[in-house]
Amino acid sequence: MFLGFHCFCWVGKGMSNQKDIDILVSEVGPRDGLQSIKQTMPTDMKKMWISALSEAGVREIEVGSFVPPKLLPQMADCADLVQHALTLENVFVTALVPNLRGAESAFKSGVQKITIPVSVSEPHSLSNVRKTHEQMYSEVASIVALRNEQYPNVLIEAGLSTVFGCTIQGIVTEKESLFMANKMAALGIDEVGLADTVGYATPLQVKSLFKQLKIELGNIAGSAHFHNTRGQGLANVLAAYEVGVTTFDASQGGIGGCPYAPGASGNIVTEDLVFLLESMGLRTGIDIEKLVAAREWLKKALPNEPLYGFIPDAGVGKAFKYAKDM
């Protein structure tokens, strides 16, 4: 085990059923990765890709978002993908929902967890979900009420976006982000995740905010979601881990970005993240060779889409050992 850092115990609900791993890598490629790509990936190809990710040992997959097909045609098959993913062994199935209507559809599909995107920056909220903060509070309260009444086993995460800055608003303060996190907790959500939507975060900012979030919210504090827009993604992962974060979002091939945040490029690369964590002695439960092989479905379905990552080209090297073998 990697024992180089003194950490808080940061075990959110996403990790509570993962006794044989140290870090939960949540694959968001089928949602965050594909949402900015104009060419629609065929549903059968998505299913094969999700199955390949599962076979590689990925434990949590965000399969899509429940949004109007006319806005994001790429996400029109989300309910179908939820049903497929539920047939896979050891996969926790999640989806994004921007509003009550999307939540209703998600709950009916059988999804195990929903993430509600809540922008700390109000200008981004208006651009992304067309709601002010006050309107978003009402929407979250309605979603939580519906879950409590009819779908008590579904987890709800508030995925706070633009927590480290916004291309529209500019500076977003730690005070603003913590206020929003506490507001979501008061509304009854189960987890609060923090997202660096446009890649502004630095390791010192990450460490400070996640440390304070844990102090204020305890185990409601959840995942870290980093974009690699300015090359700081994996450095920010390490900073978050140092203060006890144990769940990280990533996208295969580094695809993705927010279509309503100008300049936002892709997520951190799942393959590179897994290599980093396993090299540090942290068990992810993921087989890197099988994970790299899963990229083939992206190449087949989206042949003109660039894929990123160092490990797929360089390999893991002869000195590499999985954490479980150390």
Domain of residue 94, CATH code: 3.20.20.70
Residue 15: which pLDDT band, with cuts at 50, 70 and 90? low
Q: CA angle, 232 as apex, 281 and 136 as ends, to 5°?
A: 105
Active site residues: 258
**In the beta sheet, which residues pair with residue 170?**
166
Within 10 angstroms of residue 51's Cβ, the number of other Cβ atoms is 17
Question: What is the structure's pLDDT at 242?
Answer: 97
Question: What is the structure's pLDDT at 42?
Answer: 97
On whether residue 2 sits in a domain, the answer given is no
On whether residue 174 sits in a domain, the answer given is yes
Question: What is the structure's pLDDT at 5?
Answer: 31
On whether residue 13 sits in a domain, the answer given is no
Residue 67: which pLDDT band, with cuts at 50, 70 and 90? very high
On whether residue 312 sits in a domain, the answer given is no
Tens digit of each residue's pLDDT (9 = 90 or more) over 101-146 = 999 999 999 999 999 999 999 989 888 888 899 999 999 999 999 9
Question: What is the structure's pLDDT at 33?
Answer: 93
- State the chain's mean pLDDT as an integer: 91
Per the structure, the complete domain to which residue 139 belongs is given by: 24-306
Nearest-angstrom CA–CA distance, 273 and 208 = 21
On whether residue 15 sits in a domain, the answer given is no
Tell me what the mean pLDDT of segment 288-308 comes to.
Answer: 96
On whether residue 247 sits in a domain, the answer given is yes
On whether residue 67 sits in a domain, the answer given is yes
pLDDT above 90 (res 256): no
pLDDT above 90 (res 14): no
Tens digit of each residue's pLDDT (9 = 90 or more) over 165-213 = 998 899 999 999 999 999 999 999 999 999 998 889 999 999 999 999 9
User: Is the CB of residue 252 less than 8 Å from the CB of residue 37?
Assistant: no
pLDDT above 60 (res 164): yes
DSSP 214-271: HHHHGGGEEEEEEB-TTS-HHHHHHHHHHTT--EEEEBGGG----TTSTT--PBPBHH
Tally of structural domains, the chain:
1
The DSSP letter of residue 156 is E
pLDDT above 90 (res 217): yes
On whether residue 180 sits in a domain, the answer given is yes
Question: What is the structure's pLDDT at 197?
Answer: 87
